[in-house]
Structure 1
Amino acid sequence: MTTATTATAADVTATSAPTAPTADVTATAGTRVRRDLVHRAHEQEVLVSPPWREPDGGYGSRTVTTGISDYYRDHPVPHRLDALLLIEACRQAALSAAHAFEGLSENIAFFFNSIDMEITEPGQLAASDEELTIRSEFERLRLRGDGSPKQITYTQYGTDTSGRKLVRTSMAVQGLPKDRYPELRAYQRGGSPAPTTAALRSGQVRRADLGAPASVARTRVENVAIAGVRAEAGVRVADLAPDLANAALFDHDYDHFPAMVLIEAGRQLALSGTDRPAGHVVTAVRAAFEHFAELDAPIRLEARQGERWVDVDCVQDGLVVTRMAFALSPAPAGEA
């Protein structure tokens, strides 16, 4: 999300790496990066290997999709085509490299500004049984004096072993030291502290009008994130209703709905508007996070079908907090 902060620490542009060692690329195969380097509490939510430095200055990681959460396999299409898996793996690849090699502090609360992801070769990706190599290049890495990121922008490619590019991403994130983050959130909320998923979880009741799993290309009800799907004046509408106990969507305690939850809900609403949700796959995602999506007020999703893209807005208290767009394609054949 894009919000002004009150930080006054001097900015530092990262131009050289600390003395973290270059990884043995062969040794990383099948090994997961440390959870703290990707800000994950559960091992099954870690999707990449330790990063390594490429000879020309970029960074590499490999996906590790064995033993991952069942959430990423709850699709009628191969898990390799899961847009959320690819986005999350690319996020983890970039941030772990920034922590390991670029001096980014680990004691940071991060939030997305924007995400742009495209599966450029969906047929080849569906047919492949290989882990992807993710190549990350930082376009801008501006750190404050305390090691927190004023802004990080990066581009990435996911390639197979032949070097063919199958996925591309571009992302922008910001962050603050964890001890300053509550101050920012209270300021944005007019002095009111934000509630947390941990506090709200026990009181959550599954909605009777939660979308049927098959209507959003899922098989398990706990992975459905929208309810009350309806048409209003030519717009497809739903309410955000994710399961706060779903550790794949809420890996740790949050004081807002994270980007991945909003994208998942948007994807589901886009798929629900097709004649056969299980026969389609999201091949591209664009998302801009303009405000925090608060936990304590309803969020309405509005989908509008364009020529190629389905535009989905997340609206809270009359304000668009997130703007997304999804490109859908017929699902290619491949083993799930």
Structure 2
Amino acid sequence: MPRRLVHRAAVAEVFVTDAMVLGEDHFLVGSQWPRDHALYHPDTHHRSDPLLLSETIRQALVYLAHWHYGVPLTHRFVGYDMDFEITDPGALCVGGLPLPVELEARWQWTDRRPPRRYGARIEAALSVGGRSCGRGSLRVVALDERSYRIIRGSVGGADSAVAAAAEEPRRCVEPTLVGRLRNKDSVLEPGPTANEWLLRPDPDHAILFDHPTDHLPLMVLLEGFRQLGHLTTHSEAPQPGGPAFTLVSAAVDCLAFGELDVPTRLVVLEDETAAEKRAERRLRLDALQGDALIASCASVWAPVRLAMAGERPVGLPVPCA
């Protein structure tokens, strides 16, 4: 898959492999998920990172827009909302080979005004080897450069915005506390109060900022929400055989552009009434710049049993020879 057709600069970050037409606005999209990844790595139970689903849906929408619907490659894509749900985590266990997944996708135009503006939504069902295991959707608008500059106003270029964001040194949370492996992958920094955090991604991060941008990308906001959710649900160190939590669904609404050179505060609220009645934890995570809400995420974290030392995770495929 050519990198430009999924808006990626690095070959290693291209997950969509091909697509075929099943009917009018109906497609089958193939993808290959890596056995390991610097950012979207498997968890301790060898399950694939759920954000691989959201990134694959994003790439599928961009690819179909260019390949099938003829949206110009020079158009800017702006996300409005995204949601995903993992219904069968066991189907997404990593084995001895990269994981081949399929998206059965349906396309819907929401605001089509060519050649300047193309608004669209994609709904996708996820399966592995015919085994249904999740779903998701994404709504975007693709704008020509003139239209994009009009809605962005007097915002400076990507280089100046990234430079401004990098002026202050990062003091991010230890990566293991937010479910990440490397210091550069942690995007959370303690905020001004005990209940607030700052979203401080590394502007030189090769995956979060795969190519220049003048605003916080949707996937960066989603990574911040995921890390804050992990920190919240794992505030106490789990014991072997005890409870842990994994992200099984998220719904993100983007209400405004997130500027790179403006502090972004993250706050979390939990439905405590629901928590008393259910095993899972339901968190609402908000991103604010100043007093303005720029994005909100409703997430569900389901309990999983920690694998005992030396125990093989249930459902883990036997590595191929």
Q: TM-score, normalised on structure 1?
A: 0.79
Correspondence list, 1:25-40, <5 A: 33-40=1-8
Distance 1:92 1:313 in 2: 25
Q: 1:104 aligns with which of 71, 75, 85?
A: 71
Q: Partner residue of 2:170?
A: 207
1:315 aligns with 2:288: yes
1:239 aligns with 2:198: yes
Task: Give the number of aligned pairs.
Answer: 292
- Inter-CA distance 77–318: structure 2 relative to 1 (3 Å threshold): farther
Alignment RMSD: 2.6
Q: 2:83 aligns with which of 109, 116, 137?
A: 116
- String of CA shifts for 1:244-263, please: whole Å, max 9, x gaps: 11111011111111111111
Q: 3-state SS of the aligned residue for 1:71?
A: coil
Contact 1:113–1:288 (CA under 8 A) maintained in structure 2: yes
- String of CA shifts for 1:259-278, please: whole Å, max 9, x gaps: 11111111111110123588
Shift of 1:124: 2.5
Contact 2:214–2:260 (CA under 8 A) maintained in structure 1: yes
More strand by share: 2
Contact 1:225–1:240 (CA under 8 A) maintained in structure 2: yes
- Inter-CA distance 125–107: structure 2 relative to 1 (3 Å threshold): same
| Letter paired with 1:268 | Q
1:288 aligns with 2:253: yes
Q: Partner residue of 1:253?
A: 212
1:63 aligns with 2:27: no
Q: Partner residue of 2:12?
A: 44
Q: Partner residue of 1:196?
A: 158
- Identical positions, percent: 26
1:131 aligns with 2:100: yes
Contact 1:134–1:156 (CA under 8 A) maintained in structure 2: yes
Shift of 1:302: 0.4
- String of CA shifts for 1:274-307, please: whole Å, max 9, x gaps: 2358842211010000000111111100001123
Distance 2:41 2:210 in 1: 17
| Letter paired with 1:49 | T
Distance 1:180 1:57 in 2: 26
Correspondence list, 1:299-314, <5 A: 299-306=264-271, 307=274, 308-314=281-287
Distance 2:24 2:113 in 1: 26
| Letter paired with 1:52 | M
